[in-house]
Every structure is written in C-alpha cells, then in structure tokens.
Amino acid sequence: MLTDSLKDLAAALERRAAAAPGPNRAARAERLRRHVVDYLLPRAASLDAPLVVVLLGSTGSGKSSLFNSLAERAISPSGVLRPTTRRPVVLAHPDDAGGALLPGLTARDALDIRSDANARPGLVFVDAPDFDSVELGNRALAVELLEAADMVVFVSTATRYADQVPWTILDRVRQRGVPLLAVLNRLPPDADDAAAVLADYRHLLERGQLDEAGAFGPLEVVPVLEGAIDPAADALDATAVAPLRDAFDRLVADDAARRAMAKRSLAAALAGLPEAVAEIAAEVDDEQGAVAELLAAADGAYRERRTTLGEEIARGAFMRAEVLRQWHDFVGAGQVARVLAQGVGRIGATLRSLVSPGPPAPAVEVRDAAFADLMALATQHADAAAQRAAVTWAEDRYGAAALAADASLWGASPTLGERLAGDLDGWAAEIGREIRELGGQRRGWARVASIGVNALGTSAVLAVFVHTGGLTGAEVGITAATAVINQKLLEALFGEANVAAFVSRARGRLTGILDGVFADERARFDAALGTAADPALADVLRTAAWNTTAAP
Amino acid sequence: MEHDRGAVIDPLEARLASLRTAAAATRSIQLNDAARAAEAAADRIDQRAGFGGSAYVMALAGGTGVGKSSLLNALAGHTVSAVRAIRPTTDEPLAWLADAARDEAAPLLAWLGVRHAVGHADADLASVVILDLPDVDSVRSRHRATVDEILPRIDALTWVADPEKYDDQRLHAYLRSLAGHADRMRFVLNKADRLTADEADALEADWMRRLSEDGIPDPSVDVVSSTTLAGIPELRASIAQAADAKAVRAAKAAADLRDATLALAAATGVRLNARREPLVAPERLAAAIDASADGALAVVDPAGVARQVRAAVLAGARHRGGSLLGRALALLAWMTGQQRRTADPHAYLLDWRRRGSLGRVLNPMRAVLVEGAAGVPAGSRGAILGALGAEAVEATVSRTLDTSAEEAAADLRIPQSWIWPVVGAIQLAIGAVFLLAVTWYLTLLVGGGQVPVGTFDLPLLGPVPVPLGLLVGSVVASALLGWLTGLHAGLVGRRAGRQVAQRTEAAVRRSVEEVGFAGLRRVESARARVADALEALEALEG
C-alpha cells in the first residue's frame, strides 16, 4: 500500500531529522517529512480534497496584492514595510475549510484561515510569507507551505528575478514537480525593457528546467506592469492577472480537471521523492563514512593504550617504592617471619617475635596506596587515549562539533577515579572472600588468622601488582625483594599451586575490570556522535523511497 | 609619499606593530588561521597607507536592481555606468573619480582590482573615488565573490537598497558583519518615487530600526530617487561635505586594526575585560606543579637514594677501615649481590622506571592543560593543546626524568674519609696482635701445655698474663674502633644522603615544572602579546 510505504518513509525521515548533525541537514529531512505527512499522505488518501494553491515569492514581490486580486477583495494586507505577511492567510470556501486542510500547520495554529462563501469552491489559496527577509521564521513557513502545495503561484519582480535565494526555492519546485504558475510583477513601463526582462526571466526558467512544470501546458509567465494596482482592493490590477483568474475559474467549473490536477501533482511529487530522499541518504552515507573513521580513530587510541596499560601491569613495576618498603618491612619481621620460619629457626623467630612483635600490619594503607598507584596508571593511559582520539577528531567537522559540545572528551572522564575505586573495592572484597575460603580448606587457618585476613588480602593484591619481572632479587631493588618475600608468605600459607591459581584468577578479574573501564571511556566518544552513528539509516531511507515508487 | 601618511596615521604604526607581534605570537602557538587573517589585515592596512593620494574610496554596494548604477549616474548627472532592465547588470566594479586624480589613483585602482574608470571635473567630489560594485545577491555568485574580495580594501561604503529589498536577509547579513565600520557607512533608499511621502517616512524609520538591530546605531539614511532626482542634490552635498579623505582613511585603518586585534583576542581566548587573566589560575597551576613534582619524586624516590648512599658510605668505611671480620663480611655482601641491591645509589637513580608509573606526574599536568584549553574557543582548542604539548608530555616528561636521574647520578660521589685508612691500618695492627695472641695459645694447645722451645717465663702484666691481655684487648679495641668507625661513617653517610636527596628533589621539581609546563608558558606569553595589542588599541582610543 502506498500509504504504508509513505508512513515508513515519514518514520525514517523523522529518525533522520532527530539524528542529523547540524540544523541544515535536520531541516532538510524535516522538510521532506512534512511533505510526506502534510501533502503526500492526505493527497494519496483522497484526490477529491480541495486543491491547495500556495502563493510564493520574495518579500515585497506583491504576493498579498495578487492574493487580494484573486480573492477580489482586500483580505491579506499589503504594505510598504517589509515583511508584510508573517502569518499565512488562507482563503477557502466554507465547504472546504474543514479540519483536514493542511493538517500539520493547522495543528500548530500557524494559519489564519478565512472562510468565505464567495471564494472558489474546491480551491484553497494560501498567501505565504517571504523566504528572503531578515525574518528567518518566515522562510521556514514558506518552505513548509511549498511542501504542502498542490499548485504554486510563484511571484517575482523585475528587480528580484535574478536573485539567488528565489532560485533555491524554484529548484525544489522543480524537484517536487508541483504544477507551477509564474507572475512577474513590477515590469518597467518601457515596452522594450519589459519585453527584455520577460524574455530574460523565461530564459532563466528554461535553464532551471521549470518550463515543464507549468500547471496548464508549458510554463507561461504572467507579466504585471509597475503600478498596475487597484488601490481600492489593495490588489493587483484585475485585467493584468486575468489569465490566472480565468485558469482558476476553469478549474472550479470542472471537477474532472481538478481531480486530474490533483493526480498530476501527486504523481509528480511521488516521482520527485526518490531524488529528494537520495540527497538525504547521500548525506547520511557521507556522515557514516566520517563517523566510521572517527570511531575507528577512537577505538584505535583506546585499544593501543589498553594494551600499554596491560603491559605495564604485567611488568609489575608501577608501585611506589615507599609503599613497597612499608610492606617489605612488615612481611620481613615479627609475626610474619615467625610464620615463615621453618624447623629450628622457628623457635628463634618465636622468641624474637615475643621480644619485638614487629610493626602492625599496614594492610589498609598499603592496599589503598596500591590502588591509588594503579588508578594513576589507568588514568594516565585513559587520559592519553582520550587526547589522541580528540586530536584526530578535532580535524574533522563532525568530530570538532562533538568536541565543542563536550569538552570533557579531551581527557579521561571526570568520574573515572570514582568508578575505578568502586570496581577495585569490589575486586578486593572478592579476594578477601577467596582467602577465607582457602584458609578454611587447609589446616593452617590459625596461622592465617594470626596474620589477619586483611593483611593477606593486601598480600594477594600485591602478588598481582608486583613481580620480579623475570629478574632475580639480586639485580633489582625493593620491588623485586618485596615481590619475592610476599610470594613466599602466600605460598607458605596456602601452597604453591593454590597461590598460582588464585593469583591468576584475581588477575583475570582485574583485566575484566580494566577492559570494562576502557570500554566505557571509549563509549563516551560513540555517544558524542549521537544517533548519527546509525549505520542502517541510509538503506532504510532508500528502501522506503523505493517502496513508494513500487506501490500501485 | 611618506609625508602624505601624515600625523593622523602615525599613531597607527605602534598599534600595527603590536598587531604584527601578536599575530606572530599567535602563529607560534599554532593558531595559523587566526594568525594568517591578522597578518593579511596588517598587510592590507600597510598597503593602503602606502598609496597616499588625496582621495578616499567609497563604494556603492547592494543587491541587484536596487539602482546602484542609476544612483551613480544621478550623482554624475549623466550616464557613467550602464543601466539595463535585465538583471544583474554590473559585472565588474567601475570607478568614477576626478580627472586630476586619475594618474595618482591608478596604482590604487589596480590594487583594488578595478579596471574601468570614468573621470569627472567636479571639484566638490575631488577627494572621493566612487566605485560602482556588482550585486551581492544574484544568481551570478561570481559577483558576490568579487564584492567579498574588494570590500575589505574599501575605505567607505554606501549601501543602496529599495523599498523591495531593504529588509533582505542577504543585505543584513553583510551589515551585521561590518557593524564595526558603521562610522564610514551611509545608507541610501532608492526608488522613492514609488512611495508617498508618508510611506517614505515610515519606511525610512523601519530601515533605521533594522539597522540599529544590526549594530549600527544612528545610521545616516538618505531617501532618494535616481529617476526623479529627488534627494540627489542633498546626497551629493552630504558626500562632498564629508569628504575629509585623511580622516576617513585613518578611521578605516583604525577599524581594520581593531577588527583584526579583536579576532586574535577571540581566537586566543583573551577577554576584553580581563586581558591578563591566565588560562589557568596561578594557585591552580601551583597546585598542579606541586602534585606533578610529588608524583615524580614518588617514582625517583630521593629517600631511597639517600638510604643507598648511606649504605654505600658504610660499605666504603667497612672496606677501608674495617676489622678483619668486617672485611670478610663486606666481601661476602659484595659476592652475594647484597651490596648492589642496597648500596648502589647510581644504579638506583637510573632505575627509576621500575619504581612506579608516570601517571602521578602526568595526570595533574594533563588535567591543567585540558582545563587551560577550555579557556579558548572550541575551534582553537586542538591547536592550543598541541601548543601546550599535552600529547607529547608523556615522552617529554619521561625523557626529562631520565636526564635528571642521569645528571644526579653523574654528580653523585660517595664520600670517603682519610680517617678510615688510618683506622684500617690500626685495625690490621690490632689484628696482628690478636693473631699473635691466638698463636700463643694455639702452640700451648698443640704442645699439650709444653713449651717446645726451651723455657720461657710467662710474661705477666700485673696479675694478667700478657697473651691473654693481648687477646682480650685486641678484640675489645677492634670492636670499639669498628663501632666508632660505623658511627662516623653513619654520620657522613647520612649527611651525604641528605644532600643527595635534596639535590635530586630540587632537580626533579625544577625539570618537571620547566619541561611539563613549558607549553603553557609559551601559550601564556603569546596571549600576553595579544593582550599588549589590545592595550595599545585601547590606549589610543582612550
């Protein structure tokens, strides 16, 4: 069904409008969506609804005067102060002024609808605002009315006809294929000049491929001389615009002709749809290409830094010496030495520990310091990855826009520390649980308890963080010395195999935590591009447009 | 020509110089686009001043069909510029100027890119060159490009509009961007013959309202008709009267300078009301430097270095002034590698990478740089961060710490004392005595109490036999001496360690500040040049 395909297309365009980067692209999608919703859908539902004739033109071109002469009375006030018409005036016969008229605009109460028993039944005239004055809101309304029109009367003047802005509007008229009537106002009184201007305008219209768009055969330009006005009606001179009035009167008289006009307008609009959709889809493709590159750059930066972080952790040398020394002093003396001592040495150690019980376990301090060191390392690499990605992004239009919107992308996220601290606390809690479990399984629980689960937890954390890195204790300083003695302590309590498995499990969980953190850090970059990163949208749009042509 | 530039333009020189300095500084911090625009503006001002002459250039600008050429013809009283009904008419700019000034103005017109000129003999308008420009709004976008190219070089502008086009978005977009030149702009509403007097008044008021919305308060608006010539004599008189060429040109140069300086200020985030405000508040920066330096010290670990120095001094004392036993222990420590681990400050210094990560050094640094970059507009941020060295900071800091460590290691001497070899000699002597005494008792032991060589009276020192005295005495003396040497070496070692630690700490702090924050200092000094230019501007404008 045509209406179903049109509804699909409208939905896709709505998605596009919401996701488009920049107001211009969003406006383009929104404009086409309005065309589908406000014109194509109602017109596809009924060819007998009244024809909407929109008067479009520059500010000061005399749209309102023409409107009044078509209405045969002063309805839309004209004036010297620009722009005159801000709220579009709609002239409709009472039979036609029902609710279905221009649904989108009526819903927003943007129209000034005048119901008039003398108006032409079956035709609804709209005096649109200008599209080139300082009032940018006027342009939006004019463009929206163009999208909803069954016919367009385009008014220009001898001064205006070569302006650039009207031709961008006329280009959309051509693409839409809406039946067109042209009026050239304010022609100079000199007959030769007038003829020259008229010929030049026709030439430009031909070059703009608008001659085919004429509502009644090839496009004819209705000339109106400067000063040809009827001040009483605030209107253009009736005889000057007689060709238009006659054409509309004929349409009113002939239901079939009106229906044919509606059908033609609809067919042309449907035919113009794929081109308009293709333009938007091409923009989407273009964005997708850029977005894919940006995402790859961010991904590469984070991947590289995650790898470096992993290597530095594996090297086991990122902890501060002063912290390690504290732990080394604790593990090497007192209670712990007693636990570690074997055979006869044990008696001596016991005696020594009675005389000098050694420092109390700095379990919490050392663990927190170790976490702080790891967090500093992770932040360093998250920061560097963000910066690398941002530097690449700053070179790109979309990337620069995303960075401008969220300056925090230049570094690690502000909540990274908090997040990591939480994750590491969870990790430490899991380690504590495993130690209790391991200690319970072996008969050495008393020895475990004598040192303390907290201290052993810290010991396990250090076992993951600090290694000898393959070097022997003789070659390196405090790092390796602490690693060795710490390992010995754990092995003495839990057995070598248990410790190896336990440390490897803890390391695996830590890897998972860091992977998650880096993934979330990178996800900020994905999110910064917004829903623009919807890879299927271009195809959805093209398919929907194609479906409208395929429908019967 | 030089003297022509006169006293009015002279004060400009200083401002121009500070603009150029500011532009160069801006380029040095990689804001190339902003620098290029400022340099182009400075060049333009210089070039314009170089032409001298007695006239200024005024252009008629506006949309197609508003009657720019007709207006020029009306001012001239005859056809100067072709007028046609079909649009757009004028393709290329045309100059209308006094015959007497034609030769003099030729290079100026060439610089403006104006190839067509028509002369007149009107003394009233001798000091103004009037240009008829192409339109700014037609389908011929080349016309607009021509106008955009020539506009910045023109001294004064007359914007022409008509009742149809006076409210056009295109026109007002131009006016808004040129609001800084309002003092040399006038506005002409043409085609008044289409309006009644009341309408003309209402329209003039409406246009003035729009113009003031564009940032042009009190605009000078003339309502004329180039068809009926209404208002033309007044406009002509007004142009002739206002024609102080030097003042116009000086005002134009000043406005250009102002625009260019303000653009530089915007790009570098220098705010007008707080010119000297740094990107990063001093206390914030000091805190970051401290945090970074603390991070670096945690890694380099001067306390650890000091401990190593103390151990090395002790080892040295033991080596030179130790007892026999001491020497044996020292040899053992050396052989097992214990000494290399605990008493080698050089290796310890160089091995800083194994004692932590750069994170603690870099994180506060990067945070401050990113924070600083937030003070410039989003478009400048990438370049500024590049200039701040944010990306390179990892490598730079790592290299700097290497250098600091190497320098500290090179400067590091393990102190020795002349006392120790002396003590060593004494210790050796004591050792010899000890050995003698030991030998005495050993021979007794071997001989089963029998002295193998004849009779020998046991020497006595009072009640104590001499060998026993020597044995005990040598042990006590050696221990005492060893203890004293240790005490002395400890003292020397502690002092040396403290000094090394202090030196290392100072060196690390200095290099972290110097190297890590060098980019920030560079950027701040460039911003200071921009602030100088702003100040020079305001000093002259009062």
Are A389 and A293 spatial neighbours (Cβ–Cβ below 8 Å)? no
> Can you give the pTM of this predicted structure?
0.79
Contact assignment for A376 to B65 by CB distance below 8 Å:
no
Q: How far is B273 from chain A (nearest CA, A)?
A: 24
CB contact under 8 A, A376 and B363: yes
CA distance A405 to chain B (A): 9
Q: C-alpha angle with apex B282: B277 to B284, nearest 5 degrees?
A: 115
Nearest-neighbour CA in chain A from B6: distance (Å): 42
Tokens at B461, concatenated: 């020192």
Mutation to test the A interface, candidates B32, B66, B370, B376, most A Cβ within 10 Å: B370
Contact in structure between B47 and B113 (CB atoms under 8 Å): no
On the 0-12 / 13-18 / 19+ scale of CB atoms within 10 A, A54 is buried
Residue B253: enclosing H or E segment and its boundaries?
helix B245-267
* Placement of tokens 């607009």 in the chain: B144
Compare CB distances from B139 to A134, A167, A478 and report the shortest one's residue: A167
Within an 8 Å CB–CB cutoff, is residue A539 touching chain B?
Answer: no
Between chain A and chain B, how many beta carbons pairs sit less than 8 Å apart? 202
A90 phi and psi angles, rounded to 5 deg: -115, 130
Show residues of chain B in contact with A139, CB under 8 Å: 169
Short-list B414, B416, B420, B417, CA closest to B497: B414
B465 upstream amide cis, omega within 30 of 0: no
**Residue B293 carries which side chain, given as an amino acid letter?**
A
Nearest residue on chain B to A325, alpha-carbon basis: B304
Contact B168 A160 (CB under 8 A): no
CB contact under 8 A, A376 and B353: no
Chain B interface mutation, best of A59, A82, A155, A409, highest count of B Cβ atoms under 10 Å: A82
Q: Name the residue among B155, B135, B369 with its Cα closest to residue B249.
A: B155
Given an 8 Å threshold on Cβ–Cβ distance, is A376 in contact with B210? no
Q: How many angstroms away from the CA of A410 is the closest CA of chain B?
A: 7
Q: Give this complex's ipTM.
A: 0.76
Task: Report chain A residues whose CB lies below 8 A from the CB of B65.
Answer: 158-160, 162
Average predicted confidence (pLDDT) for chain A: 85
Rounded distance between C-alpha atoms, residue A218 and residue A200, angstroms: 17
Please, are residues B184 and B244 in contact by the beta-carbon 8 Å criterion?
A: no
User: Which chain B residues have a beta carbon less than 8 Å from that of A481?
Assistant: 341
Helix/strand/coil for A92: strand
A159 to B390: CB separation less than 8 angstroms, yes or no: no
Q: Tell how far CA A348 is from the center of its chain.
A: 73
Q: Do A376 and B295 touch (CB under 8 A)?
A: yes
Contact present, A112 and B195 (Cβ < 8 Å): no
Helices (H) and strands (E) in chain A, counts: 21, 9
Q: Which of B165, B174, B199, B211 to mutate to test the interface with A (most CBs of A within 10 A)?
A: B165
Find residues 197-236 of chain A whose CB sits inside 8 Å of chain B. 197, 200, 204, 226
A window 53-72, beta carbon within 8 A of B: 58-61
Residue B210 in 3-state DSSP?
helix
One-character DSSP codes across B37-75: HHHHHHHHHHHHHHH--S-EEEEEEE-TTS-HHHHHHHH
Which residue has tokens 């591009």?
A529
A278: tokens are 């293709």
List, in sequence order, every beta strand (DSSP E) within B358-500: 460-461, 464-465
- Chain A residue nearest residue B168, CA to CA: A133
Whether A250 and A257 have beta carbons less than 8 Å apart is answered as yes
- The token duo for A385 is 């990855």
Q: Could you give the count of Cα atoms lying within 13 Å of B229 in the half-sphere of its Cβ? A: 8
Tokens of residue A322, six digits: 């002063």
- Distance CA(A405)–CA(A430), nearest Å, equals 40
Close Cβ partners of A207 (under 8 Å, ≥ 6 residues apart) = none
CA B415 – CA B312 distance, rounded (Å): 9
Angle at A497 between CA A492 and CA A503, to 5 degrees: 90
8 Å CB contact of B385 and A379: no
Query: First vs last Cα of chain B: how many Å apart?
Result: 29
CA dist list (Å): A36 to A264, A272, B23, B212? 16, 12, 52, 41
CA distance A40 to chain B (A): 31
Per-residue pLDDT tens digits for A236-285: 888 889 999 999 999 999 999 999 999 999 998 998 898 899 999 998 88
Which residues lie below 8 Å from residue A486, measured CB to CB, with a gap of 6+?
A327, A331, A459, A462, A463, A466
Contact B357 A136 (CB under 8 A): no
In chain B, residues with a C-beta closer than 8 Å to the C-beta of A164 are: 137-139, 141, 170
To the nearest whole Å, the CA of B381 is away from the closest chain A CA by: 8
| Substitution target from A210, A410, A466, A471 for chain B, most B beta carbons within 10 A | A410
Which positions in chain B touch A134 (Cβ < 8 Å)? Answer: 167-169, 172, 210
Within 276-335 of A, beta carbons closer than 8 Å to B belong to: 312, 317-322, 325
Yes or no, beta carbons of B360 and A376 under 8 Å apart: yes
Render each residue's pLDDT in chain B as its tens digit; 542 residues: 344 444 444 677 888 999 999 999 999 998 999 999 999 999 999 999 988 778 899 999 999 999 999 999 999 999 998 888 888 888 899 999 999 888 889 999 999 999 999 999 988 898 899 999 999 999 899 999 999 999 999 999 999 999 999 999 999 999 999 999 999 999 999 999 989 999 999 999 999 999 999 999 999 999 999 999 999 999 999 998 876 888 999 999 999 999 999 999 999 999 888 888 999 999 999 999 999 999 999 888 888 889 889 988 988 888 888 777 777 777 887 777 666 667 788 888 888 887 888 888 888 988 888 888 888 888 888 888 888 877 788 888 888 888 888 888 888 888 888 988 999 899 889 988 888 888 888 888 887 666 555 555 667 777 778 888 888 888 899 889 889 988 999 999 999 999 999 999 998 999 888 888 888 899 999 999 999 999 888 877 65
Q: Which of residues 454-513 of A touch B (CB under 8 A)?
A: 469, 473-479, 481
